[in-house]
């Protein structure tokens, strides 16, 4: 059974409109149980693709999640990426900018969190907060930014964001952008659940209600941002998020399709490398001189026989690795960054 993904993609060839968009769409899947079964089928495939991306070391993947409060971003990251090795994944949550961050342009801190080659980077909120919350609350004017309050200011922002994403893709970072679209009624139910369940009380913030009062303004800001920054090189996917299982399934399928297009692969080992591997194998055989393998002369560079491993940047801390094998299944744990938010 095919999942109806095409209608969720916006790459600039058509306009996104909130009206008529079904936030409870099953995407052609026959119920929750079937959807969960499909997600279980997808997980090992995602693990294998991530392992290849890490070993290949030629490109990276940036995944951006934007949504209103209680739309399910945290749960999405936990469920869809639960099988991947956190050694190859870094999660950054952007909150209200700090004073040092405000002293730079708004993309400065974003660029620092872009994943290096071989890695998957997940943004829980992103630079789009500057054209969502920033636009609704008119924060650029409050910050005294040049051009704030002028008619062309937001046109400039949309152009800068598209230029930034084009630069990333042209330098080897694939960009996927997801808007988890939850209805106002479903959000109301989820916010009440956070109040009724003591184990979820910590998730509730009184500011969520203030943001909810500006629902129409945020919907317009999302519509404008998606339509002005949807491009073939960095498309938006609007995900129906009223049914969490359907939203998670859709994101997982889109990720698989993206990896298929990227085609990362394990590095090939040449003839000299194979010869060295056989010598090492021989040295490890019982009674064959284990531990006495010939050392490589100090003035000679050894043939590289392993994949293109890489160090994690010192200023970025991914979730703690579960082991050296980049394909080993381990839960992903989010780390914190910084930015103003309109979603949880």
pLDDT tens for residues 85-126?
889 999 999 999 999 999 999 999 999 999 999 999 999 999
Residues 283 and 197 in one domain: no
Residues 173 and 219 in one domain: yes
* 283 falls within a domain: yes
* 344 falls within a domain: no
Mean pLDDT confidence for 281-303? 65
Burial (0-12, 13-18, 19+ Cβ within 10 Å), 4 = middle
CA distance 134 to 154: 10
Residues 140 and 288 in one domain: no
Q: What letter does residue 128 receive in the DSSP assignment? A: G
Residues 34 and 175 in one domain: yes
* 198 falls within a domain: yes
Burial (0-12, 13-18, 19+ Cβ within 10 Å), 151 = exposed
CA 187 to each of CA 68, 129, 178, 192, 240: distance values in angstroms, whole numbers, following the listed order: 8, 19, 18, 9, 13
Residues 236 and 295 in one domain: no
Residues 199 and 332 in one domain: yes
* 1 falls within a domain: no
Residues 190 and 209 in one domain: yes
Q: Which of 246, 283, 276, 239 minimizes the C-alpha distance to 36?
A: 246
Mean pLDDT confidence for 140-161? 92
> Over the range 15-54, which residues count as b (16 or more CB within 10 Å of their CB) and which as e?
ebeeeeeebebbbebeeeeebeebbeebbeebbebbbbbb
Residues 32 and 98 in one domain: yes
Q: Give residue 298's pLDDT band: very low, low, confident or very high (50, 70, 90).
A: low
Q: What letter does residue 82 receive in the DSSP assignment? A: T
The pLDDT value given to residue 149: 86
- State yes or no: pLDDT of 317 exceeds 60: no
Q: What is the CATH number of the domain that holds 132?
A: 3.40.50.300
- The three-state secondary structure class of 115 is coil
- The three-state secondary structure class of 193 is helix
Residues 238 and 226 in one domain: yes
- State yes or no: pLDDT of 146 exceeds 50: yes
The pLDDT value given to residue 115: 98
Tokens of 206: 């009184």
Q: Are 77 and 331 in contact (CB under 8 A)?
A: no
The pLDDT value given to residue 208: 85
Tokens of 77: 């990251």
Residues 70 and 154 in one domain: yes
Query: Treating both helix axes as pointing N-terminal to C-terminal, what angle do 73-80 and 31-56 enclose, rounded to 10 degrees?
Result: 70
* 231 falls within a domain: yes
Q: What is the pTM of this model?
A: 0.82
Tokens of 104: 């730079």
Instruction: Print the domain residue range for 260.
Output: 6-267+317-339
Residues 225 and 288 in one domain: no
Neighbours of 65 (CB within 10 A): 26
Q: Are 71 and 343 in contact (CB under 8 A)?
A: yes
The pLDDT value given to residue 287: 78
Mean pLDDT confidence for 174-200? 95
Mean pLDDT confidence for 58-74? 97
- State yes or no: pLDDT of 266 exceeds 80: yes
The pLDDT value given to residue 296: 55
Q: What percent of the chain has pLDDT over 90?
A: 72
Per-residue pLDDT of 233-261, as tens digits, reads 999 999 999 999 999 999 999 999 999 99
- State yes or no: pLDDT of 29 exceeds 90: yes
* 311 falls within a domain: no
Mean pLDDT confidence for 64-75? 96
The pLDDT value given to residue 342: 44
- The three-state secondary structure class of 121 is strand
Q: Are 11 and 5 in contact (CB under 8 A)?
A: no
* 312 falls within a domain: no
Q: How many domains does the chain have?
A: 2
Residues 204 and 296 in one domain: no
């Amino acid at each position: 059974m095919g999942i109806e993904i095409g209608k969720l993609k916006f790459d600039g060839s058509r306009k996104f409109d909130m009206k008529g968009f079904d936030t409870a769409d099953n995407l052609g899947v026959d119920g929750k149980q079937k959807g969960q079964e499909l997600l279980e089928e997808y997980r090992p495939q995602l693990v294998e693709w991530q392992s290849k991306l890490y070993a290949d070391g030629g490109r990276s993947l940036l995944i951006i999640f934007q949504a209103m409060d209680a739309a399910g971003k945290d749960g999405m990251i936990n469920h869809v990426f639960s099988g991947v090795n956190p050694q190859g994944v870094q999660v950054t949550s952007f909150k209200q900018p700090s004073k040092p961050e405000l002293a730079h342009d708004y993309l400065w801190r974003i660029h620092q969190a872009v994943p290096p080659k071989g890695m998957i980077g997940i943004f829980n909120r992103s630079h789009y907060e500057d054209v969502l919350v920033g636009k609704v609350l008119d924060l650029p004017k409050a910050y005294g930014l040049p051009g704030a309050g002028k008619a062309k200011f937001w046109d400039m922002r949309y152009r800068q964001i598209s230029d930034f994403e084009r630069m990333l893709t042209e330098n080897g970072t694939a960009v996927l952008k997801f808007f988890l679209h939850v209805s106002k009624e479903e959000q109301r139910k989820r916010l009440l659940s956070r109040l009724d369940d003591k184990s979820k009380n910590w998730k509730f913030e009184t500011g969520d209600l203030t943001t909810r009062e500006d629902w129409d303004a945020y919907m317009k800001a999302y519509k404008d941002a998606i339509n002005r920054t949807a491009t073939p090189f960095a498309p938006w996917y609007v995900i129906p998020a009223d049914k969490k299982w359907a939203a998670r399934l859709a994101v997982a399928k889109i990720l698989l399709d993206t990896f298929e297009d990227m085609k990362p692969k394990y590095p090939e080992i040449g003839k000299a490398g194979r010869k060295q591997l056989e010598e090492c194998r021989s040295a490890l055989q019982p009674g064959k001189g284990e531990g006495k393998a010939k050392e490589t002369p100090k003035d000679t560079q050894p043939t590289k026989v392993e994949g293109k491993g890489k160090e994690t940047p010192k200023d970025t801390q991914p979730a703690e690795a579960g082991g050296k094998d980049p394909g080993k299944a381990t839960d992903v744990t989010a780390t914190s960054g910084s930015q103003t938010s309109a979603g949880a």
